[in-house]
Amino acid sequence: MAGFSGDAETAQRLYRLVRAASLKETHEEELKLKNVAGKWVHVAVAPISSLGHTVWRITDTSPRRPVLASVDAAKQSVVVQLRPLEQPLLAGADVRMPKFIQDAPVGVALTGEDGVISEWNAAFASLIGSEAKKLKDRPVFDLLRDQTAQETRARLTSLKPGEVSRAPVDVRFKPGNERTAQLFASRLHNENGGPAYAIYLIDTTGQTALETQFAQSQKMQAVGQLAGGIAHDFNNLLTVINGYAELLLQRHQPGDPSFADLNDIRNTGLRAASLVRQLLAFSRRQTLEPEAVNLTDLVADWSVTLRRLIGDRVKLKVEHGRDLWPVFADPTQVGNALMNLSVNARDAMPNGGTLAIRSANVTIGETMSFGQVLMPSGDYVTLEVEDTGLGIAKEHLGKIFEPFFTTKEKGHGTGLGLASVYGIVKQTGGYIFPESEVGKGTTFRIYLPRHIPAAAPVVVEPEKTSAARDLTGVGTILLVEDEDAVRDFAVRALTMRGYKVLDACGGEEALELVAEHDGPIDLLISDVVMPGMEGPELVKEMRKRMPELRVIFISGYAEESFRNAPDRPEDCLFLPKPFSLKQLTSKVKEVLGEV
């Protein structure tokens, strides 16, 4: 048997032949020869006596030249007669597996009726994770977790003599062995009357890891879409709450009894807006201002802030790699991600510890060996944040990036810190992977793609003179917004500053207003997403009549999602919600002041 190839397909075909011989059945297979490229032989096995003797016929199927030594060249076949073992299978302790089964890439073990293991191959022992001597006379069920052990026991007892299980059992092993496998079994004929089983284990650890990573990625994407939708709706509400609070504050002086209450409303609204920005960060819909960034400089700039955040009990240790490549990222957002990870690390070390921040280049060759199927191979710069804290339990590790998930006590943390880190990294085109061990600490590794800047001409910008703070103005503005409360606030804010405002709740109504209006329209302010005709389509229709019309888009989504839209109009400004009274009037003054 040693002359055949050792690949998995040939091993399976050879196993079927051996099994047919043991069951006194006729079977034929095409087998690949070892050390002879592209050569196959036809192998047939058949019983020739009631005592268990079998005949094996091996025929060369190559039409070109003989590959079987010492065989009639005309017939190119050899017949081998095998006699049965003196003792039935598994009846004695000295039964040994054939060499090709011992070397097979699939785990194989032989057991008695009670599931006690008597023989096994190297692949089986490797998959179990135990030394070979620990498997002898041990029930196979003891190696499996409770649920899969019960399923395996039921599967074995259901088999009839000579029957092979068609459907696999997905098994998990005892704690400490995180591999997964599919288990097949066959019931063997035993002439002593006691049934015996062959157990086959196919390693599915890699496939399971891929499925888990893919499912996690899909879940995070779905949660991100939900979070982005929630953030959009909240931004509309906060625009109204914060806007009207500002209008009321303008009518109440600091000595007024209502001033403090109104100020609390506005401050709470601003805090809520900060939480919504974290939701947008997780959903990868926040506005980024990316540039070429050197992580060595960035970490150095944030070190003073981080030391204040983590306190005196925690020691900050920073290690920079040499000659780091630049990355294309928003330095403020990467800094926020670093701050969130540091705060989490501090909270995980209530009695003090060490927070280590490391950076290094990672080449394409190194990334290929990581085994992270969702991260393509390439050149990256890694940012590693490691603490010596309490660690994260394994059952929580897959949930830590979900919005509002937290293991902290009530009132401590929003559950959005790690979610926003995840969103920032993903929106930057990077990847983040956590590793943790309870009682030893946690490590977060961020991989950001290497940025190769293109040569660009140096542009000298003229000095900007400080603009006057007068936000009043003149002109006619068409305001299109489907949310009534947002539209009413914006109309009041702009009217107070001296502008004439035409307002509509949708694109179709806006076009009707324009058709009826006598006179110029100096500025269009429009929501991006509206029922019926959306903002970009409205702008195209308006510019057919007014080619020089200036436009400001307002939206609860991030500017980046709008900028990447294929149908976005050119030369349009963007104002994200929630915007304040001052932000709205300043943006309008900026646009109309240039007329």
Question: Helix axis angle, 581-592 relative to 205-251, nearest 10°?
Answer: 90
CATH of 212-282 among 1.10.287.130, 1.10.20.10, 3.40.50.300, 1.10.150.120: 1.10.287.130
pLDDT tens digits for range 70-114? 344 334 444 444 444 433 333 333 345 677 777 788 888 888 888
Distance CA 132, CA 60 (A): 38
Give me the chain's average pLDDT, please. 77
The full 3-state SS of 291-339, as one line of letters, equals EEECHHHHHHHHHHHHHHHHCCCEEEEEECCCCCCCEEECHHHHHHHHH
Distance CA 18, CA 21 (A): 5
* pLDDT confidence of residue 66: 40
Q: Is the per-residue pLDDT at 456 higher than 90?
A: no
For residue 502, name the pLDDT band (cuts at 50, 70, 90): very high
Superfamily of domain covering 291-368+376-449:
Histidine kinase-like ATPase, C-terminal domain (3.30.565.10)
Q: Is the per-residue pLDDT at 567 higher than 70?
A: no
Q: Is the per-residue pLDDT at 358 higher than 90?
A: yes
Percent of the chain with pLDDT over 70: 73
Q: Is the per-residue pLDDT at 455 higher than 80?
A: no
pTM of this structure: 0.47
pLDDT tens digits for range 289-316? 788 999 998 898 888 888 888 888 899 9
For residue 503, name the pLDDT band (cuts at 50, 70, 90): very high
In the chain, ranges of CATH 3.30.565.10 domains = 291-368+376-449
Give the number of residues written for the chain. Answer: 595
For residue 508, name the pLDDT band (cuts at 50, 70, 90): very high
417 Cβ neighbours under 8 A, 6+ residues apart: 278, 340, 343, 344
The answer to whether 351 touches 313, Cβ cutoff 8 Å, is yes
* pLDDT confidence of residue 91: 35
CATH of 476-592 among 3.40.50.2300, 3.40.50.300, 1.10.260.40, 3.30.160.100: 3.40.50.2300
* pLDDT confidence of residue 64: 41
Least confident range from 152-166, 279-293, 541-555: namely 279-293
For residue 279, name the pLDDT band (cuts at 50, 70, 90): low
Name which residue leads in pLDDT, 534 or 81.
534
Selection from 50-64, 219-233, 445-459 with the highest mean pLDDT: 445-459
pLDDT tens digits for range 31-54? 766 555 556 777 777 765 444 556
Q: Is the per-residue pLDDT at 471 higher than 70?
A: no
**Tokens of residue 578, six digits:** 């929630």
Least confident range from 59-68, 181-190, 385-394, 406-415: namely 59-68
For residue 376, name the pLDDT band (cuts at 50, 70, 90): confident
* pLDDT confidence of residue 76: 41
The DSSP bridge partners found for residue 164 are 186
In the chain, ranges of CATH 1.10.287.130 domains = 212-282
**Tokens of residue 203, six digits:** 């390693």
Name which residue leads in pLDDT, 465 or 567.
567
For residue 360, name the pLDDT band (cuts at 50, 70, 90): very high
Question: Which whole number is the average pLDDT over 491-509?
Answer: 90
* pLDDT confidence of residue 228: 64
Measuring CA to CA, which residue among 550, 491, 554 is closest to residue 523?
A: 550
pLDDT tens digits for range 108-139? 888 888 888 888 888 888 888 765 567 878 88
CA 139 from centroid of its chain's CA atoms: 38
Beta strands in 204-309 (DSSP E): 291-293
pLDDT tens digits for range 340-351? 899 889 989 988
CATH of 99-203 among 1.10.760.10, 3.30.70.1880, 3.20.20.80, 3.30.450.20: 3.30.450.20
For residue 19, name the pLDDT band (cuts at 50, 70, 90): confident
* pLDDT confidence of residue 445: 93
* pLDDT confidence of residue 38: 55
Q: Is the per-residue pLDDT at 229 higher than 90?
A: no
Selection from 28-32, 356-360, 571-575 with the highest mean pLDDT: 356-360
* pLDDT confidence of residue 260: 86
* pLDDT confidence of residue 441: 93
* pLDDT confidence of residue 535: 87
Q: Which helix (H) or strand (E) holds 147?
A: helix 146-158
* pLDDT confidence of residue 357: 94
The answer to whether 236 touches 223, Cβ cutoff 8 Å, is no
* pLDDT confidence of residue 180: 86
pLDDT tens digits for range 178-196? 788 889 988 887 656 544 7
For residue 166, name the pLDDT band (cuts at 50, 70, 90): confident
Q: Is the per-residue pLDDT at 257 higher than 50?
A: yes
* pLDDT confidence of residue 69: 39
Measuring CA to CA, which residue among 352, 419, 416 is closest to residue 388?
A: 352
Long-range contacts of 330-334 (CB under 8 A, 24+ apart): 330/288, 330/289, 330/290, 330/291, 330/424, 330/428, 331/291, 331/293, 331/298, 332/289, 333/281, 333/286, 333/288, 333/424, 333/428, 334/293, 334/295, 334/298, 334/383, 334/424, 334/428, 334/448
Q: Is the per-residue pLDDT at 477 higher than 80?
A: yes
Q: Is the per-residue pLDDT at 56 higher than 50?
A: yes
Selection from 40-44, 399-403, 440-444 with the highest mean pLDDT: 440-444
Selection from 16-25, 107-116, 506-515 with the highest mean pLDDT: 506-515
Selection from 277-281, 412-416, 483-487 with the highest mean pLDDT: 483-487
